[in-house]
Amino acid sequence: MPATVVVGTQWGDEGKGRFTDLLAKDMDLVVRYQGGHNAGHRIVVGGEAFSLQLVPSGVLYPHTIPVIGNGVVVDPTVLVAECEALEARGVDTSRLVVSGNAHLIMPYHYELDRATERSLGKNKLGTTKRGIGPAYADKAARIGLRIQDLLDPKIFRQKLDVVLREKNAVLAKVFNRLALDGEEIAQLYLGEIAPRVAPMIADTVTLIHDALDAGKQVMLEGAQATFLDLDHGTYPYVTSSNPTAGGACVGSGIGPREITRVVGIAKAYVTRVGAGPFPSEVDGAIADQLVERGHEYGTNTGRRRRPGWLDLVMLRHAVRLNSVSEIALTKLDVLSSLSALRLCVAYEADGERLDKVPYHQSVLHRVRPIYEELAGWSEDLTGVTSVERLPRAAREYIARIEQAVGVPVTFAAVGPDRDQYVSFAA
C-alpha cells in the first residue's frame, strides 16, 4: 500500500505532530525520518497535551507501530526518558522500534553545538543546542557512532576512543573548553542506556517494506520544515537534515514510487524560531496578537517565535519541492478578530516583482513583501467542525490560498485538540 508523507511547508511548528496524530488513526506504521529532539510536536487529545521530541506522533494509538528511521539522530538518554514519561502517563511505548543505522547524539555534540554558537556571536543561527548539527556533521564525515554500536561494546569503545581524541582537541584548543571523559561516556551509553535501548533496535527498512508489501498503511512524519532543509532552506539558517519529502525516502529506506500522498502542513500565518530571513515577518501589535493568541513559544525550548503573514511565494515553492498533494492548514482560529488579513503574493526587489523565491540568498534578505489584503472575521472558530459553519471570509481566505498554490486545502484546524478541525474532503 502507498505511503503518506507529512511535511512542514514553512519554518517548523506548523502543527505536523497534531496532523500526524490525526491521520495516524488509519495508519499501521508512523515513521520519523530525520531530525532529532530539536523537534517538538505537540498533540492534544481531550484537553490532555503531549509534547513529543523523538517518539513518532502515532504513539498515542494502540494499533500503530512508531518507528524511528535511519535518518534520525538519536540521543538515547532522551529517547529513554521520553518513553518513560509517556509510560508514566499511561501511553504504551512497547511497540516503538529504532533503526540500528540511526546515528547517536553524543555528549560532545552538545558541547560543540554550544561552543560553535557562542563563537559565531551575533551571527549565531539560534540552534536548539541539542547537538543536531555536530551529529549530522560526524555522520557525513563518517566518524559517527550509530545505534547498533550500542550492541557491541568493543566497537563502541574503539570508535569513541578515536573520535573523542579529535573532539577533545577541538574543544580544548579551539574553544577553550574542558575535555570530556571517555570512560564516563562509555559507562552512561553502554552501562545505563544500552540495556534499555537494545530491545527497541530493529531492521526498520525490512519492517517498513514488509508492511507496504502486506498492504499496510505507512506514514512518514517530517520534523522541522521545508525552509529549514539543509539543501533547500534559507542556508545557513537551516537545520542539518533534509525535512523535505525526498528526505523521507532516504531517512526511512523506501523508494519514491511508494509515496502517493504528501500532506503539506501550513500554519494560517507563519512563524520562525531562530535567526534567518523572513520576508513576511511582522512586528508591533499584530505580532503580539499572533504570538499571544497562538501561544507562539517553542514547544520545548520556550523561545518566542517570530510571527508573520502567510507567504504564498514560499508556500508555492514548498508545494513544488515536496510534491505536496494537499495542504492541511492549522491555527485558522488564531486569525479571528484581526480586522484585515494579509497574504504575501509576491516580492519586490531592486524595482522588480518576483513571483518565485530568489535563488540568490542576498536577494531574499532584501526582498519586500507585496501583500494582498483580505477581509477578516470576528467569529470564534474553535467550535467549528463543518465547512458550512466557517465564516465566509475564512472560506475566501482558504480559497485564495488554494488558487495561489494549485493544490487543495483538505483540512483546516481551528484549535489544538485532535477533534478541532474542519475537513474539506468530499
Please list the active-site residues: 13, 41
Q: 217 is written with which cell numbers? A: 498503511
Q: Cβ of residue 39: shortest distance to Mg ion, in angstroms?
A: 6
> Does 127 participate in binding Mg ion (rule CB under 5 A)?
no
Which neighbouring-strand residues pair with 65? 29
Pairing relationship of beta strands 352-354 and 340-349 according to DSSP bridges:
antiparallel
Q: What b/e readout covers 35-71, taking b as 16+ CB neighbours within 10 angstroms?
A: bbbbbbbbbbeeeeebebbbbbbbbbbeebbbbbbbb
Q: Give the interface segment with Mg ion, choosing from 5-13, 113-121, 198-206, 338-346 (CB under 5 A).
A: 5-13
For the segment 207-226, give every residue that binds ligand IMO (CB under 6 A). Answer: 223-225
For the segment 14-43, give every residue that binds ligand IMO (CB under 6 A). Answer: 38-41
> Does 99 participate in binding ligand GDP (rule CB under 6 A)?
no
Task: Please select the residue that binds ligand GDP; options are 334, 343, 344, 364, rule is CB under 6 A.
Answer: 334
Q: Which amino acid is at 318?
A: A
Residue 44 binding target from ligand IMO, ligand GDP, Mg ion, none, CB below 5 to 8 Å by type: ligand GDP
Q: Could you say which DSSP state residue 26 is in?
A: G
For the segment 126-165, give every residue that binds ligand IMO (CB under 6 A). Answer: 126-128, 130, 132-133
> Does 80 participate in binding ligand IMO (rule CB under 6 A)?
no
> Does 415 participate in binding ligand GDP (rule CB under 6 A)?
yes
For the segment 109-138, give every residue that binds ligand GDP (CB under 6 A). Answer: none
Q: Give the interface segment with Mg ion, choosing from 32-40, 231-239, 305-313, 354-362 (CB under 5 A).
A: 32-40
Q: Give the whole-angstrom CA distance, residue 35 versus residue 239.
A: 8
Q: Cβ of residue 398: shortest distance to ligand GDP, in angstroms?
A: 13
Q: Which is nearer to ligand IMO, 77 or 148 (CB)?
A: 77
Find, among 95, 105, 104, the residue nearest to 207 by Cα.
Answer: 95
> Does 42 participate in binding ligand GDP (rule CB under 6 A)?
yes
Q: Which is nearer to ligand IMO, 130 or 167 (CB)?
A: 130
Is the alpha carbon torsion for 356, 357, 362, 368 positive or negative? positive
Number of other residues whose CB lies within 10 A of the CB of residue 283: 10
Q: Give the whole-angstrom CA distance, residue 382 versus residue 417.
A: 10
Query: Residue 236, preceding bond cis, omega within 30 degrees?
Result: yes
Q: Which is nearer to ligand IMO, 186 or 287 (CB)?
A: 287
Residue 15 binding target from ligand IMO, Mg ion, ligand GDP, none, CB below 5 to 8 Å by type: ligand GDP
> Does 40 participate in binding Mg ion (rule CB under 5 A)?
yes
For the segment 257-286, give every residue that binds ligand IMO (CB under 6 A). Answer: 273-274
Q: 411 is written with which cell numbers? A: 483540512
Find, among 279, 274, 167, the residue nearest to 224 by Cα.
Answer: 274
Task: Please select the residue that binds ligand IMO; options are 81, 125, 250, 346, rule is CB under 6 A.
Answer: 125
> Does 17 participate in binding ligand GDP (rule CB under 6 A)?
yes
Q: Which is nearer to ligand IMO, 125 or 287 (CB)?
A: 125
Number of other residues whose CB lies within 10 A of the CB of residue 103: 22
Strands (E), 320-365: 326-330, 340-349, 352-354
Pairing relationship of beta strands 97-99 and 65-68 according to DSSP bridges:
parallel
Q: Cβ of residue 85: shortest distance to ligand IMO, in angstroms?
A: 17
> Does 12 participate in binding ligand IMO (rule CB under 6 A)?
yes
Backbone φ and ψ of 380, nearest 5°: -75, 125
Q: Cβ of residue 6: shortest distance to Mg ion, in angstroms?
A: 13
How far is residue 289 from each of residues 157, 295, 396, measured CA to CA in Å?
A: 52, 10, 22
Tell me whether residue 256 is exposed, middle or buried, using C-beta atoms within 10 angstroms of its C-beta: 0 to 12, 13 to 18, 19 or more.
exposed
Q: Which is nearer to ligand GDP, 134 or 243 (CB)?
A: 243
Q: Give the whole-angstrom CA distance, residue 425 versus residue 228.
A: 30
Strands (E), 241-377: 259-267, 270-272, 306-308, 310-311, 326-330, 340-349, 352-354, 368-375
Q: Which is nearer to Mg ion, 272 or 342 (CB)?
A: 272
Q: Give the interface segment with ligand GDP, choosing from 9-17, 169-177, 315-323, 400-408 (CB under 6 A).
A: 9-17
Q: Cβ of residue 219: shortest distance to ligand GDP, in angstroms?
A: 14
Which residue do the cell numbers 504513539 mark? 59
Number of other residues whose CB lies within 10 A of the CB of residue 105: 29
> Does 18 participate in binding ligand GDP (rule CB under 6 A)?
yes
Binding residues for Mg ion, rule CB under 5 A, total 3
Residues forming the site for ligand IMO (CB under 6 A): 8, 12-13, 38-41, 125-128, 130, 132-133, 223-225, 228, 237, 239-240, 273-274
Residues forming the site for ligand GDP (CB under 6 A): 8, 12-18, 39-42, 44, 294-295, 299, 330-331, 333-334, 413-416
